[in-house]
A and B are shown apart, each in its own frame.
Chain A
Amino acid sequence: MKPVQLFDLAAAQARWLSVRQATVAGNVANANTPGFVAVDVEPFDKVLSRTTPAMVATDPRHIGAGAPSPIRKNEQVSDVPVKPSGNTVVLEEELMKAGEVRRAFELNTAIVKAFHRMVMSTAKG
């Protein structure tokens, strides 16, 4: 029987979503900082397709081994006019992104719940 990868996938997406939430928080907090350029995380499919071989920790003194590869952040490209202060954050856009994160996270947890129920019903019989 093939192992089920859904929990792994869901965990990876939850991690990506929470990094995105932190990025949105950084943008909103710096909405009035001169010269701040809004950032966004790379799309989830890119994170998935990137195949960085992870090092295996075989000794407790190994640092950084076995950790999931970091999610890159890059400057957001949008056609908003840059303000005189050099700040490119648009609050409305950030709140919209926050809404997207929320919707995706709700879906993610709902799927995990449903899948967990399925696994449990198989185990309990």
Chain B
Amino acid sequence: MDPISTALKVAASGLHAQSERLRIVSENLANAQSTGSTPGADPYQRKTIAFAAEMDRQSGGDFVRITGIARDQAEFPVAFDPGHEAADANGYVKMPNVNTLIEMADMSEANRGYEANLQVIKQARDLITMTIDLMRNQS
């Protein structure tokens, strides 16, 4: 296959991976305060995403594949709120194990990765245009 279209496809797989990552970040941030609804119930558990490189034998490109979306096994922090519907017998509520700062850092890294992939796509398009321009009528 034409290497430039391989480049386009690889960059597209990178875009897809980074946008899925951004989706996970937004889910985590949105549910940063989602507790359970019965006494002592577990709250929202933070999601994590993992990538792996996958070599495509036909084109020789290193594509990115999402290997799985898992749950963060870190302990839940507890807050003292006896009036809450999820409070246990001692008045403690389990809060989600989402750290807003970590999510923010993850978000800007996903953003940076997305931008870099976009840049590659733009350039691959320019290379194709330059090649096509060779065939244009030169007066």
Q: Which residues of A does B touch, CB under 8 Å?
A: 14-15, 17-19, 21-22, 24-36, 39, 73, 91, 94-95, 98, 101-102, 105-106, 109, 112-113, 116-117, 120
Partner of A26, one of B10, B18, B113, B127: B10
Closest to B8 in A: A25
* Interchain nearest-CB distance for A70 vs B (Å): 8
Once bound together, how far apart are the Cα atoms of A116 and B110, in whole Å? 45
Main secondary structure on B side of the interface with A? helix
Cβ contact of B119, chosen from A15, A95, A109, cutoff 8 A: A95
A91 to B18, CA, bound (A): 14
User: Is A98's CB under 8 angstroms from B133's CB?
Assistant: no
Given known pairs A22-B3, A25-B11, A39-B62, the reply for A30 and B51 (CB within 8 Å) is yes
Docked-complex contact A98 and B120, CB < 8 angstroms: yes
Q: Is the CB of A28 within 8 A of B11?
A: yes
Q: Identify which of A25, A34, A35, A36 gathers the most chain B CB atoms within 10 Å of its CB.
A: A25
Q: Are B10 and A94 in contact (CB under 8 A)?
A: no
Which A-B residue pairs are the 3 nearest by beta carbons?
A29-B14, A26-B62, A25-B7
Q: Which residues of A contact B14 (CB under 8 A)?
A: 25, 28-31
Asked if B119 contacts A29 (CB within 8 A), the reply is no
Q: Is the CB of A105 within 8 A of B51?
A: no
Q: How far is the CA of A92 from the CA of B68 in the complex (A)?
A: 28
